[in-house]
Amino acid sequence: MKPSSWTYARRISQSFCLAVFLWLFLQTEYRGVDQLPYPVSLLFRIDPLAALADFLAPGPFGWQLLWPALIVLLLTILLGRFFCGWICPLGATLDGLGKLVGRGRRAYSPGWRRVKYYLLVALGTATLFGVQLLGLFDPLAIFLRSLTLAVYPAYNYGVNRVFDFFYEHEVPLLSAMVKGAFPVFRDHLMAFYQPIFALSLFTLLIFLTIILLERIEHRFWCKNLCPLGGLLGLCARYALLQRTPQQLCADCRECDSLCRSGAVRPAGHIRSECLLCMDCTGFCPEERVHFALRTGSRGSAGLDLQRRGVLTAMASGVMLVPAVRIGPVTHEQNPYLLRPPGAVPEEEFLQRCVRCAECMKVCIGRALQPALLEAGPVGLWTPLVVPRIGYCEYNCTLCGQVCPTGAIAPLKLPVKQKNVIGLAVIKPDRCLPYAKGIECLVCEEHCPTGEKAIVMEEREVLVNGALRALKFPKIVDRLCIGCGICETRCPVEGASAVRIINEGESRRRRPEPLAGPYG
Amino acid sequence: MMSCMDRRTFIRRSVLTAVAAAAGSLPVIDLQALPAHAAVTPPLAVRRGADIPFLVRETLGALGGMDRFVKPGDIVVVKPNIGWDRTVEMAANTHPDVVTSLVALCLEAGAKQVRIFDRTCNDERRCYTRSGIRAAVEKIGSDRVSLEYVDPRAYRELAIRGGRAFERWEFYLPAIEADRLINVPIAKHHSIAGLTLGMKNLMGVIGGNRGRLHSNIAESLTDIASVIQADLTVVDATRILVANGPQGGRLQDVRSPQTLIASPDIVAADAYAATLFNLAPEDLPTIVAAARRGLGVMDLKRVQMV
């Protein structure tokens, strides 16, 4: 059994696409220019699930952005699931790591194949009714999310510790070389600051689970669970690129046991399941197998989705909606639920965000963190501004630039600088001048609005029984944009003495604000 | 006045003393504040002019030239203020031309290496770029000059002998170990320190939670300045920020005195800079505290205008 040239071509294509993906991933960082030329969001433009989320969200479909996804769908109708076999970075990772984790050869019930279609139908139906969870299962989102939140931070941590070691211990020759390499790594191959994320471990566990499923059978995820695979499978049902022979040969049943996608069944070749890996063109002992474009489906097997299953999936999708909606409206309950600048209103935001974590990858001030339950039951992995960890950099517009589905609108800088994320509120029981009579102005000093949104007001107060003039910070509501640098930099240990709440955020339709003496 | 021993000797002696004294008890280097040297009248040069390279040359010339401060083979640190993600005209950072002109003078004086850095408040990549300092330094195109990001590994906690606000703090080693340190602040409004000048600019070479310094800013900055002694302070007042400092962001808060103030005495330089804001040196607690502790002369009648 030797791989055919088609197999080699596929492997090259997979490696190339994975390399492009990783290269784009590394480019998705501020490296001195304000407008990112090659953000990894380019990759989501070919993602039909992202397009579906965008299509079903309120507002016009982003044709300009997402037409490549439609091309992928058209090509799939023509050729079959080439995306899964030749392009998908998660598929490539599974193919590449399979040998390492050990590959199962258990023949699973063909019934499992239907799960991905049911998942797609259930998620699609829920999305139609306004609960979008496609991103949780989208393979590109999973891959990017795992990379951003877990793999890349871990990689940076490891590399940095190596550099630390050679910085602290002078090893002849080696130390000089390693130190010389540091700027190259820092400027091109690493994050400038060590990425820090709240859900790293959780995200990693899910990623590892998907990889470990290889131990059950090859491409378990792709064959049984991936809703994008399901969508492409549906499109590929009558693909013109067809396999000959369609059936298992009478004298040899190798395909049945060797096919990684389980697409060659006694009933015939199932185009919806075939990942076009082309291995069968190589392992066929008689070299009978080839692929060619032709019409008609003589001898091939169709999909048996089972009406009952589809209806059940639709019903679960519909039922998901009230299950989610009957809870309290999270962003009204949780005043600390802050979204990136340019985020659309919360309900639409949840419908658009595909949880790809790109905004978190690119955030220059480490302000964006993935949500667990802070944004409600369906807000998992959506981006939150967490100002105690990092702030929104005043002159930066990167998150809006990389968002592939318009959940964060791309804002021009002057607009972004006026976009209100929230409002700073000083806590007098923690703030040094108020609570302890100690002078402090760190929040005022860092406030980035030209006319400062934090002013210092001098008052005479009793401190330890003596009258003393002290300056107190006050928030000017009309100027505060909630960037959060005051909360990040507040020198009080532990909980900050100034916190951003989501009151007055730009994306919310709201009544006239109350005008106080500070504006 | 310049210190009587050079920086390297000083470091070597301090380290030796520390090693001898500590004998394994404390994992910190015990840096002793330099002896007060405000006994004589320090020279102070003030010049005005629109042509910045010429202005820098003229001001340094009045002090006797850069040769008086930088010796051939010296490793020199030029420490501008690059704290904020603001463009040149906003007057939040030291003017790039002031920085590069000083660097050029250092190179002419035979400096082996000139290192430029600041621990910024906004993202350092953005600050270095938008301040215009990155482009200006790259234009020099000399491999003896480097604009560096602060290396988080290079902070060391040092004891501050005689410190009033702190007994120890983290300092940035490259600033301490350099042969010469040229402190190049920009003069700006600041709500608690009153103004941010030379002493405040030294906050850019320390580590730790800098916000904590503000509760006792005068003594804290004096503590810092007693450890990191600049050989030369050049206050950039080509543009100054009179309100909404220290980062500004509005042109209406910017004035252009087109002035450069230089002195080996950081207190004298700061004291003179205060007058540009119609303040007396006594109005600024940091200057008063530093003068009291013998770090320099604040009485402008006692400085030697050159």
CA-nearest residue to B83 within chain A is A446
Q: What is the mean pLDDT of residues B28-55?
A: 73
| pLDDT of amino acid A1 | 54
DSSP run (H or E) holding A356: none
Judge whether B44 and B237 are in contact, CB under 8 Å: no
Q: What is the mean pLDDT of residues A43-65?
A: 85
pLDDT band at B27 (very low <50, low <70, confident <90, very high): very low
CA-nearest residue to A164 within chain B is B153
Q: Domain extents for chain A?
A: 5-149+201-293, 422-519
Where do we find the tokens 């301040």? B131
- Give me the residue from A364, A438, A451 closest to B244, CB to CB: A451
Contact list in A for residue B209 (CB cut-off 8 A) is 491
| pLDDT of amino acid A511 | 55
The fold of A422-519 is Alpha-Beta Plaits (3.30.70)
Q: What is the mean pLDDT of residues A68-84?
A: 94
A481 by Cβ neighbours in 10 Å (0-12 / 13-18 / 19+) ranks as buried
What's the CA gap between B208 and A344, in Å, rounded? 38
CA-nearest residue to B192 within chain A is A441
pTM (two decimals) = 0.88
ipTM of the modeled complex? 0.86
Average pLDDT, chain B: 88
- Give me the percent of chain B exceeding a pLDDT of 90: 76
Note the pLDDT tens digit of each residue in B72-120.
Answer: 999 999 999 999 999 999 999 999 999 999 999 999 999 999 999 999 9
The residues near A249 (Cβ < 8 Å, ≥ 6 apart) are: A255, A286, A288
Per-residue pLDDT for A122 more than 70?
Answer: yes
| pLDDT of amino acid A188 | 86
What's the CA gap between A133 and A371, in Å, rounded? 14
Give B20 or B107, the one with higher predicted confidence: B107
Per-residue pLDDT for A57 more than 60?
Answer: yes
Number of inter-chain CB pairs under 8 A, A vs B? 76
- Give me the residue from B121, B123, B209 closest to A364, CB to CB: B123
Judge whether A381 and A347 are in contact, CB under 8 Å: no
Check CB contact under 8 Å for A395 and B249. Answer: no
Most confident of A40-54, A353-367, B13-27: A353-367
Interface test with A, best of B123, B124, B210, B251 (most A CBs within 10 A): B123
What's the CA gap between A15 and A17, in Å, rounded? 6
Put simply, whether A474 touches B (Cβ < 8 Å) is no
| pLDDT of amino acid B255 | 94
CA-nearest residue to B249 within chain A is A450
Check CB contact under 8 Å for A396 and B246. Answer: no
Scored b (16 or more CB within 10 A) or e, B77-110 reads bbbbbbbbbbebebbbbbbbbbbbbbbbbbbebe
Give A116 or A63, the one with higher predicted confidence: A116
Taking chain A, what is the end-to-end CA distance rounded to the nearest angstrom? 78
Check CB contact under 8 Å for B249 and A449. Answer: yes
Give how far B252 is from chain A: nearest CA, Å. 10
Check CB contact under 8 Å for A452 and B217. Answer: no
The residues near A511 (Cβ < 8 Å, ≥ 6 apart) are: none
The fold of B32-305 is Rossmann fold (3.40.50)
Report, in angstroms and rounded to the nearest whole number, the Rg of chain A calculated over CA atoms.
27
Per-residue pLDDT for A449 more than 70?
Answer: yes
Note the pLDDT tens digit of each residue in A233-280.
Answer: 999 988 889 888 888 888 888 888 888 888 888 888 889 999 999 988
| pLDDT of amino acid A381 | 96
DSSP run (H or E) holding A57: none
Check CB contact under 8 Å for A30 and B125. Answer: yes
Tokens of residue A366, six digits: 């480490």
Check CB contact under 8 Å for B122 and A393. Answer: yes
Tokens of residue B298, six digits: 């604040």
User: Among A88-92, A95-99, A310-314, B181-185, where is mean pLDDT lowest?
Assistant: A95-99
Give A103 or A296, the one with higher predicted confidence: A103
Note the pLDDT tens digit of each residue in A363-413.
Answer: 998 999 999 989 988 899 999 999 999 999 999 999 999 998 889 999 999
Give how far A276 is from chain B: nearest CA, Å. 46
Alpha helices per DSSP H over A107-184: 114-128, 134-137, 139-146, 152-168, 174-184
| pLDDT of amino acid A377 | 85
Q: What is the mean pLDDT of residues A313-338?
A: 89
- Give me the residue from B123, B215, B248 closest to A440, CB to CB: B215
Q: What is the mean pLDDT of residues B244-256?
A: 90
What's the CA gap between A92 and A191, in Å, rounded? 24
Note the pLDDT tens digit of each residue in A171-206.
Answer: 888 888 888 888 888 888 899 999 999 899 999 999
Per-residue pLDDT for B193 more than 80?
Answer: no
Give how far B126 is from chain A: nearest CA, Å. 7
Note the pLDDT tens digit of each residue in A260-269.
Answer: 888 888 888 8
Per-residue pLDDT for B206 more than 70?
Answer: yes
Contact list in A for residue B244 (CB cut-off 8 A) is 450-452
| pLDDT of amino acid B260 | 97
DSSP run (H or E) holding B139: helix B133-140
Contact list in A for residue B27 (CB cut-off 8 A) is none
What's the CA gap between A501 and A339, in Å, rounded? 11
Judge whether B96 and B140 are in contact, CB under 8 Å: no
Give how far A442 is from chain B: nearest CA, Å. 6
Q: What is the mean pLDDT of residues A202-218?
A: 93
